[in-house]
């Protein structure tokens, strides 16, 4: 079984379509680690593609914020502005869709969560010391996480925590959409990147009146 693992789409339709095109005919199942919405200009379209393609997904902190289940005081001002904008334009059927997303899921070979098993929607795992409590909670040898927008692999004893990076809002200095392919039989992960039309996304963000900092950071991948 080969899985396409994606995370942190953030309403970036161009990046999502580019990643899905790269995954076509290469994997048996695509799995999303949350934050389908937030920051970007096409949250409804991204939700609809995830639903149409039967991509298994969990909720991230931006889903929880759009649903008013996570206070906006959790965010810096510009992301909070983007959450408010997303709340205004989300269609009822897509709000109900993200409301039904679980925080964690188990697969035969691995588990998935947006942040951590200790705090599924909010905690960032960036180094081994932060991840040790989550390693203790893991019931499978591999856990896929998102949230940091940076590709990462942490290893502890015989367990691994793996982050594919962000489809629509990379923050590792590389603006290309990030994702990975996991070969469950071999137990191997391959990180991949894909170019997409960043200018088109930036143009729609400007039309929507989204914060300029969020628009400009797409080109820098930060």
pLDDT attached to residue 122: 93
Provide mean pLDDT across the span 168-186: 96
pLDDT attached to residue 208: 95
CATH numeric code, 2-220? 3.60.21.10
Tracing tokens 């992301």 back to the chain, one arrives at: 79
Q: Quick one: CA torsion of 134, 136, 139, 141, rounded to 10 degrees?
A: 80
In the chain, pLDDT over 70 holds for what percent of residues?
A: 100
* pLDDT over 90 at 74, yes or no: no
CB 156 within 8 A of CB 149: no
In the chain, pLDDT over 90 holds for what percent of residues?
A: 97
**pTM given for the model:** 0.94
* pLDDT over 90 at 140, yes or no: yes
Q: Are strands 152-156 and 142-144 parallel, antiparallel or unpaired?
A: unpaired
Confidence of residue 86 (pLDDT cuts 50, 70, 90): very high
Dihedral sign (CA 31, 37, 39, 45)? positive
3-class SS of residue 115: coil
Give tens-digit pLDDT for 55-68: 999 999 999 999 99
* pLDDT over 90 at 183, yes or no: yes
Provide mean pLDDT across the span 151-176: 97
pLDDT attached to residue 222: 87
Domain boundaries, the chain: 2-220
């Amino acid at each position: 079984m080969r899985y396409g693992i994606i995370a942190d789409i953030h309403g970036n339709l161009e990046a999502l379509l580019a990643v899905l095109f790269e995954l076509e005919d290469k994997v048996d199942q695509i799995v999303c680690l949350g934050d389908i919405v937030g920051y970007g200009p096409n949250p409804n379209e991204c939700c609809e593609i995830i639903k149409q393609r039967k991509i298994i997904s969990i909720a991230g902190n931006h889903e929880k914020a759009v649903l008013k289940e996570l206070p906006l005081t959790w965010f810096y001002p510009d992301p909070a502005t983007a959450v408010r904008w997303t709340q205004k334009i989300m269609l009822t059927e897509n709000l109900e869709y993200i409301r039904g997303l679980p925080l964690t899921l188990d697969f035969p070979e691995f588990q998935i969560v947006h942040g951590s098993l200790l705090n599924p929607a909010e905690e960032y795992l960036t180094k081994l010391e932060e991840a040790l409590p989550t390693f203790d909670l893991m019931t499978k040898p591999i856990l896929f996480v998102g949230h940091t927008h940076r590709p990462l692999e942490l290893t502890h004893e015989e367990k691994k925590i793996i982050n594919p990076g962000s489809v629509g809002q990379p923050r590792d200095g590389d603006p290309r959409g990030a994702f990975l392919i996991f070969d469950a039989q071999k137990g191997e992960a391959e990180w991949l990147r894909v170019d997409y039309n960043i200018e088109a996304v930036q143009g729609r963000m400007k039309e929507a009146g989204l914060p300029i900092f969020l628009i400009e950071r797409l080109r820098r991948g930060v």
